[in-house]
Amino acid sequence: MIKSNSNFNMMYVSVEYKFSDQPTPNRVEHPLLTLLESVHAKGSIAAAAEHLGRSYRYVWGELKYWEAELDAKLVVWGRCSRGAVLTPEAIAFLHAMTKSQKELEQSILAIKTDMISNALILKGKANAHVNENSTDVINF
């Protein structure tokens, strides 16, 4: 039996796709993952912001937004020259998401292949074979 926390809000997950003019990775993308991965890898909000091509204020604001949205601490906040450190929970989240991403990789590749095959219908190529090595390419 799972006990309900009165502070916990119901959360839903929506998976969407988009067509892109660039190859895309076989993973589920989310801005929070990108932020946490960058802060963790770069060791500071400033370095993560530079890596992401965003301002320090933007990255700081996004981290604060996600902390409020998820009611969870993501970064050990403090004024020190050591940079930014993710909380143990945020690091555990990143590890769990990395594991999930690896488990989903083949499924995502299959979905992308199906979506490209479906899009080929628009070109009158309903029976065309999609090369799984180039699933990101449709020439319209």
For residue 116, the domain's CATH number is 1.10.10.10
Residue 2: predicted pLDDT: 43
For residue 73, what pLDDT is reported?
95
Partners of 86 in the β-ladder:
75
Read off the tokens for 53: 């091509």
Interatomic CA distance for residues 52 and 137, integer angstroms: 25
What is the per-residue pLDDT for 1?
43
Position 116 in a domain = yes
pLDDT value of residue 97:
93
**pLDDT for 125:** 75
Q: What total number of domains does the chain contain? A: 1
In a domain, 17, yes or no: no
Q: What's phi and psi for 72, nearest 5 deg?
A: -145, 145
Containing structural domain, residue 90: 31-129
pLDDT at 119: 85
Q: Hey, what amino acid is at 2?
A: I
Does a structural domain hold residue 93? yes
Taking CA atoms, 40 is separated from 12, 28, 96, 118, in Å, by 26, 19, 15, 38
Please provide the size of the chain in residues: 140
pLDDT per position in the chain (140 positions), as tens?
444 454 556 778 888 888 888 888 888 889 999 999 999 999 999 999 999 999 999 999 999 999 999 999 999 987 665 678 999 999 999 999 999 999 999 999 999 888 888 888 888 876 665 665 555 555 54
Helix count (H) and strand count (E) of the chain? 4, 2
Residue 6 resides in a domain: no
- Classify residue 103: in a domain, yes or no: yes
Q: What are the structure tokens assigned to 134, written together?
A: 């180039």
Q: Is residue 82 part of a domain?
A: yes
pLDDT number for residue 8: 56
Q: Is 22 inside a domain boundary?
A: no
